[in-house]
């Protein structure tokens, strides 16, 4: 089994490396009208990268001065002499007057970098190096001017490097932190390494299998990081559950084989059904209607399935081979792990005893606290992530300066007009009427520019709109453009079809999609989770209560994310500037991920409670003993998750900070308030009603997740 597992991992990695990973194209990331417009542009225009050079006076010189014109001319000449530069536009060329700021102190020179083609080994990020070097040298030549470059290729190059540095930091930090927590939990080097190695190999195999899977479902570039997070979390959790139960049985006098039989029948079954529940939650993302969510679903389901398979096959094989050698390398100050577990159980025991003595007070107080945490989520505002969410790198500063000098220039609404069955004349008239109308509109910040495709079948009208892209002013401008201006101009020409894309349109379309799809995703995840828990525990109360508790946990996490990142609290502590919105894909992704991961603890704890109940203990006794006996391993497993997720809160991108804080807070709440207070309090209040199953459902199969095999000490 061990050899087979290693062979599988190596084969997956090799296949992934040979096949390669198919990434989502930019035009595939949008939704609704935005996606349609982006696809039209991608088909009609060459996939050249657009670049902009900002020339900004430091000493007050304006565009009509000789020194300003000399600086701009030098930029144009330098770019003309540079490789991989085409279609240069200067403010001093005919028709270029629109690229000078209103105060005259800033000007833009634009150019394009040709698409290297699919057969080329180079990318536009490689080709942009030459013009970047040219612009940097011109900046040295003209110190009285700020001369810097921003655009598709240069921004992607710098942002990609910053994000890769962030991920390397997260990866390098997460493994040592996980190992330290496991050492504390088990007190032995070998026992700590087993869960970590299983998780790492599961992640490696899943990332390898993303190659062939991506040929069917192209993936988002962030999917490998999501796979790492989820794989590390569930892989370590499942191994800890299994290993802790085996060591517990060995402590009772059972031989290794007998201990593994008990672990397989109890923790093993809990791992299986927990993994199925997590996979079901992740599958909810298939119904979100966005390519990014589909790729996240593929990656997370793959790594969960592999982690479960490893936990049920190679993990017991490794433990059987190691036997008591799993306790090798005990740390002197942590050697007496059994005594430490007892101390931890006593701490949780003290908490649980108080909760079970006053379950009404505990239930009301904990629920009220979670509702307070969740309250800010009522004002949740979503936005597609823009440059303001990126790390503090030079290209972001350039973007901000261009936005300040040319409001709306970098986040315009792009009206994409297809000629269709209309004539070229009708297309020209439609574009002319639209341009005249928007130039008179209050919500537009000139200049308005137009670009026709080579075959004149598509026109793109760039309309810089008011606002910062995601505030009320921007959305109001978009509504007026889509609802009034376009129908009154382009809509009057038969055969023309107009769709709007851009940053604001993308955010608006994504928000509308989420409003429509979130109920579907929630219904799918909650419905299947209900069925799985109903069958697993043969109780109609357990799944209803589990769903309510998990929704409270997720709601509290939403509230904390909104309070911090949307309302701007703890900015100095976490090192960010609030954007006034939460990343658009985060709430739905947090829901499915947190709902799935929280089920790990729920199934594991309840399986132990059910085991004790089926052995004749009362519900009160089973709840007390079951939660106390699982408290230490759940605490350690949660500590691993919280630590790994918290690492992302230290990264430079606001997107990763929101992601890390949301996950860390939710897991912390789930492992403490939910599992330590609200779960036992509610079970105490319900008593034997916890196990109520209507007679009409008596036909449900008996899975026996809490059944302990009849093995004795050998």
The pLDDT tens digits of the residues spanning 366-382 come to 999 999 999 999 999 88
Statement to judge: residues 606 and 644 lie in one domain: yes
Token pair, residue 616, equals 């004749």
How would you label 565-588 residue by residue, b for 16+ Cβ within 10 Å and e otherwise? bbeeeeeeebebeebebbbbbbbb
Statement to judge: residues 579 and 488 lie in one domain: no
3-state SS, residue 445: coil
- pLDDT recorded at residue 233: 85
Q: How many Å apart are CA 480 and CA 506, to the nearest integer? A: 16
Q: Which residue has the higher pLDDT, 711 or 26?
A: 26
Lowest mean pLDDT among 27-36, 416-425, 527-536, 654-663: 27-36
Statement to judge: residues 441 and 496 lie in one domain: yes
Check if the beta carbon of residue 271 is closer than 8 Å to that of residue 308.
yes
Token pair, residue 569, equals 């609290």
- Whose tokens are 């593929």? That residue is 298
Segment 653-664 mean pLDDT: 88
Token pair, residue 492, equals 């009057």
Identify which of 116, 128, 133, 123 has the alpha carbon closest to the alpha carbon of residue 78: 133
Q: Please state, rounded to an integer, the average pLDDT across all residues of the chain.
A: 87
Per the structure, the complete domain to which residue 666 belongs is given by 337-380+512-696
- pLDDT recorded at residue 95: 63
Statement to judge: residues 431 and 559 lie in one domain: no
* Residue 87 pLDDT greater than 90, yes or no: no
* Residue 340 pLDDT greater than 80, yes or no: no
Segment 252-265 mean pLDDT: 86
Has residue 539 been placed in a domain? yes
CA-CA distances (angstroms) from residue 436 to 288, 429, 483, 488?
A: 39, 11, 17, 12
Has residue 652 been placed in a domain? yes
Segment 198-221 mean pLDDT: 91
Query: Which bin fits 570, alpha (ψ -120 to 50), beta or left (φ > 0)?
Result: left
pLDDT band for position 487 (50/70/90)? very high
Statement to judge: residues 673 and 527 lie in one domain: yes
Q: How many Å apart are CA 258 and CA 37, to the nearest integer? A: 63
- pLDDT recorded at residue 277: 86
Has residue 422 been placed in a domain? yes
What's this model's pTM, rounded to 2 decimal places?
Answer: 0.82
Q: How many Å apart are CA 525 and CA 323, to the nearest integer? A: 39
Statement to judge: residues 578 and 482 lie in one domain: no
Has residue 274 been placed in a domain? no
Q: How many Å apart are CA 27 and CA 514, to the nearest integer? A: 19
pLDDT band for position 704 (50/70/90)? low
The enclosing domain of 678 has a CATH number of 1.20.1640.10
421 by Cβ neighbours in 10 Å (0-12 / 13-18 / 19+) ranks as: exposed
- pLDDT recorded at residue 247: 83
Say how many domains are in the chain.
Answer: 2
Q: Which residue has the higher pLDDT, 30 or 442?
A: 442
Order of strands across the sheet with 413-418?
449-452, 458-463, 413-418, 497-501
* Residue 336 pLDDT greater than 80, yes or no: no
Statement to judge: residues 375 and 419 lie in one domain: no
- pLDDT recorded at residue 645: 86
Statement to judge: residues 682 and 548 lie in one domain: yes
Segment 704-710 mean pLDDT: 55
Segment 181-209 mean pLDDT: 91
- pLDDT recorded at residue 714: 39
Q: How many Å apart are CA 416 and CA 44, to the nearest integer? A: 11
230-234, 445-449, 475-479: which is most confident: 475-479
- At 388-440, the pLDDT tens digits run 677 778 888 898 898 888 876 667 889 999 998 888 899 999 999 999 999 88
Has residue 627 been placed in a domain? yes
Segment 501-523 mean pLDDT: 89
Has residue 490 been placed in a domain? yes
Q: Judge if the upstream peptide bond of residue 190 is cis by omega within 30 degrees of 0.
A: no
- pLDDT recorded at residue 125: 83
Cα-Cα end-to-end distance for the chain: 25
Last residue of a domain, one of 444, 472, 501: 501
- pLDDT recorded at residue 496: 92
- pLDDT recorded at residue 200: 93
- pLDDT recorded at residue 130: 93
Statement to judge: residues 580 and 638 lie in one domain: yes
Has residue 282 been placed in a domain? no
200's CB contacts (< 8 A; 6+ apart) are 175, 232, 235
Has residue 67 been placed in a domain? no
H-state helical runs in 468-540: 472-480, 486-488, 503-537
Check if the beta carbon of residue 250 is closer than 8 Å to that of residue 286.
no
Last residue of a domain, one of 449, 475, 501: 501
- At 531-560, the pLDDT tens digits run 988 888 889 999 999 999 989 999 999 999
pLDDT band for position 185 (50/70/90)? confident
Lowest mean pLDDT among 52-61, 638-647, 704-713: 704-713
* Residue 341 pLDDT greater than 70, yes or no: no
* Residue 654 pLDDT greater than 60, yes or no: yes
Segment 661-678 mean pLDDT: 90
pLDDT band for position 151 (50/70/90)? confident
Statement to judge: residues 571 and 686 lie in one domain: yes
Q: Which residue has the higher pLDDT, 27 or 8?
A: 8
Helices 223-251 and 256-263 cross at an angle (nearest 10°) of 130
Statement to judge: residues 548 and 655 lie in one domain: yes
DSSP E strand boundaries for 547-644: 582-583
The enclosing domain of 491 has a CATH number of 3.30.70.100
Q: Which residue has the higher pLDDT, 594 or 197?
A: 197
Statement to judge: residues 370 and 448 lie in one domain: no
């Amino acid at each position: 089994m061990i050899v087979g597992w290693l062979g599988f991992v190596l084969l997956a990695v090799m296949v992934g490396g040979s096949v390669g990973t198919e990434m989502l194209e930019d035009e595939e990331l949008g939704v609704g009208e935005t996606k349609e417009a982006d696809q039209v542009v991608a088909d009609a225009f060459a996939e050249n990268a657009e670049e902009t050079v900002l020339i900004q006076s430091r000493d007050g010189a304006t565009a009509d001065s000789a020194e300003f014109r000399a600086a701009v001319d030098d930029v144009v000449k330098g770019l003309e002499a540079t490789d991989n530069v085409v279609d240069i536009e200067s403010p001093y060329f005919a028709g270029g007057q629109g690229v000078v700021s209103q105060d005259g102190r800033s000007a833009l020179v634009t150019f394009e970098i040709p698409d290297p083609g699919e057969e080329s080994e180079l990318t536009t990020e490689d080709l942009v190096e030459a013009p970047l070097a040219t612009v940097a040298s011109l900046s040295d030549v003209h110190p009285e001017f700020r001369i810097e470059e921003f655009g598709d290729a240069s921004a992607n190059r710098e942002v990609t490097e910053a994000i890769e540095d962030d991920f390397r930091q997260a990866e390098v930090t997460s493994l040592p932190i996980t190992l330290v927590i496991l050492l504390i939990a088990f007190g032995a080097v070998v026992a700590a390494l087993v869960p970590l190695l299983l998780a790492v190999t599961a992640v490696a195999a899943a990332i390898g299998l993303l190659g062939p899977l991506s040929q069917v479902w192209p993936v988002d570039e962030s999917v490998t990081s999501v796979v790492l997070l989820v794989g590390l979390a569930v892989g370590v959790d499942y191994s800890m559950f299994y290993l802790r139960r085996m060591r517990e049985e060995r402590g009772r006098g059972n031989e290794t084989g007998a201990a593994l039989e008990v672990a397989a029948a109890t923790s093993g079954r809990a791992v299986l059904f927990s993994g199925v529940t997590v996979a079901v939650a992740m599958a909810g993302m298939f119904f979100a209607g966005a390519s990014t969510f589909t790729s996240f679903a593929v990656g997370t389901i793959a790594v969960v399935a592999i982690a479960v398979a490893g936990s049920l096959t190679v993990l017991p094989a490794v433990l059987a081979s190691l036997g008591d050698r799993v306790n090798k390398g005990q740390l002197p100050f942590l050697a007496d792990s059994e005594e430490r577990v007892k101390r931890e159980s006593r701490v949780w025991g003290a908490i649980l005893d108080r909760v079970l003595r006053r379950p009404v007070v505990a239930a009301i107080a904990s629920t009220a606290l979670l509702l307070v945490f969740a309250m800010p989520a009522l004002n949740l505002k979503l936005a597609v992530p823009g440059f303001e969410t990126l790390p503090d790198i030079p290209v972001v500063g350039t973007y901000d300066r261009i936005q300040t000098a040319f409001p709306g220039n970098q986040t315009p609404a792009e009206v994409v007009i297809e000629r269709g069955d209309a004539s070229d004349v009708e297309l020209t008239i439609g574009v002319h009427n639209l341009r005249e109308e928007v130039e008179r509109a209050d919500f537009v910040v000139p200049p308005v520019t137009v670009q026709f495709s080579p075959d004149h079948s598509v026109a793109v009208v760039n309309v810089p709109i008011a606002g910062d892209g995601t505030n009320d002013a921007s959305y109001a401008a978009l509504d007026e453009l889509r609802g009034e201006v376009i129908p009154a101009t382009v809509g009057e020409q038969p055969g023309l079809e107009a769709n709007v894309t851009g940053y604001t349109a993308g955010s608006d379309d994504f928000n509308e999609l989420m409003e429509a799809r979130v109920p579907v995703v929630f219904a799918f995840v909650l419905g299947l989770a209900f069925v799985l828990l109903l069958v697993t525990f043969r109780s109609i109360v357990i799944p209803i209560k589990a769903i309510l508790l998990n929704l409270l946990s997720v709601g509290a996490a939403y509230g904390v994310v909104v309070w911090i990142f949307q309302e701007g609290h703890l900015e100095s502590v976490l090192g960010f500037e609030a954007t006034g919105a939460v990343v658009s894909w985060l709430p739905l992704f947090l829901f499915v991920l947190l709902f799935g991961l929280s089920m790990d603890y729920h199934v594991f704890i309840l399986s132990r409670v059910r085991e004790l109940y089926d052995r004749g203990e009362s519900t009160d006794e089973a709840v007390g003993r079951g939660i106390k006996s699982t408290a230490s391993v759940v605490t350690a497993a949660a500590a691993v998750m919280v630590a790994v997720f918290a690492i992302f809160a230290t990264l430079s991108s606001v997107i990763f900070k929101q992601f890390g804080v949301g996950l860390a807070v939710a897991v912390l709440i789930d492992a403490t308030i939910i599992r330590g207070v609200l779960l036992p309090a509610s079970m105490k209040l319900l008593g034997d009603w916890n196990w109520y199953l209507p007679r009409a459902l008596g036909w449900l199969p008996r899975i026996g997740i809490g059944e302990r095999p009849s093995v004795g000490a050998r």
